[in-house]
A = this chain, B = another copy of it.
Amino acid sequence: MGRKRIKPGKVRLTEVAALAGVSPITVSRFFRNPDTVSAGRRLRIESAAKDLGYVPNLAARALASQRTEVIGVLIPSLTNNVFSDVLRGIYDAFEGSRYSIQLANTRYSLLQEERLLRLFVMQKPAGLIVTGVDQTAEGRAIVQAADCPVVQIMETGPEPIDMMIGFSHVDACYAAISHLLAQGCRRIGFLGARMDPRVQRRLQGYQNAMKAAGVFDPRLIVTTAVPTSTTIGGNLFSDLMLKAPDVDAVFCANDDLALGVLFECQRRHIAVPEQIAIVGFNDMEFMASAVPTLTSVRTNRYEMGLRAATMIMDEVEGRPVAERVVDLGFEVMERQSSTLQRAAAVPADRASGTKW
């Protein structure tokens, strides 16, 4: 026959109900929505629960109600601090709500992502936040099966799974390169690490801008599959100097690389921006305090996380979400590292700090 009898010390809804002199279902209602219970019983239940040290069993709740209050979040890297800002936004938004977050790390692998999505779906999450737009067909199918609100973050693109919030990496990089061109730079190098889909799209933006200006040269592109770091930034710059000693500017696909380039320039006694201009991407906090201050493309990562989370909650709780695809834009933060005295050969139609 069945299992061992009930442990004596265990406190269930039933025990609380008995002590409070109400039915278990009323206690259940009290915990989910206190307002639906009359004031008198509310007090009795409250004190009974406290006396017994009652702790709701989430598994039982999830099984009976066929849903959970877990939000699954999938990001490709924990090391890349770009994501920590997004996460902060997400965590801040869910702060104090009844939802809890389950964070998983795809390591930039689509297969890993599939595996994790499958795992999430088993938990019947209330919502899902995934990074990027490059899910496999299988991955999309799994998400669809979850039958819950989904937000894709970090970039915008066609065919959202459900909702989407981000910006165009192609346009953002195009704008950064345009700024350098406007400063009179012509031999603009591109440094990229990891080369994940979003960095690829930045490279695309670079190519578009360089070709449009008629100054594209593949030798100016130096990339590596290795994850980004300050050291790698210095190394890539050294490689670039070998391939194209005449560079007058460097666009770095992210800020760590830019900092590495700055250090390498200091090491080589190359004047920034006089001899070489530097532009980064993401506008990390340190960019504005470096010497010289470093130009970067600001992306609204915190807001992205915050709004993604809000979109999920609105959708779950039945509030209509007006904008299901949000482009947060970006801003080229022009600083000393790319501000040149020399006459701009390209019209400087993109003024300082232009919002796109």
Contact = CB atoms under 8 A, between A and B. Distances in A.
A81 B81 CA distance: 7
Given A78-B84, A230-B285, A289-B234, A91 B63 contact: no
Contacts of A288: 231
A212 interface: no
A131 interface: no
Interface in A233-270: 233-234, 256, 259-260, 263, 266-267
Given A84-B84, A231-B289, 7 more contacts: A57-B124, A62-B62, A78-B87, A78-B91, A81-B81, A91-B105, A101-B103
A122 B57 contact: yes
Interface string A115-127: 0001101111000
Interface string A75-108: 0001101001101100100000000111111000
Interface majority SS on A: helix, strand, loop or mixed?
A: helix
Interface string A11-47: 0000000000000000000000000000000000000
Given A78-B88, A79-B85, A291-B266, A229 B62 contact: no
Interface string A263-304: 100110000000000000000011011110000000000000
Interface centre among A78, A229, A267 (most CB of B within 10 A): A78
Given A88-B79, A91-B78, A59 B103 contact: no
20 contacts: A55-B145, A57-B122, A57-B124, A59-B59, A59-B60, A59-B63, A59-B123, A59-B124, A60-B63, A78-B91, A79-B81, A91-B105, A100-B104, A101-B104, A103-B103, A229-B286, A230-B286, A231-B285, A231-B289, A259-B286
Nearest to A118: B55
A123 B79 contact: no
Nearest to A284: B230
A81 B83 CA distance: 11
A135 interface: no
Contacts of A78: 84, 87-88, 91
A58 B100 CA distance: 16
A108 to B, nearest CB: 13
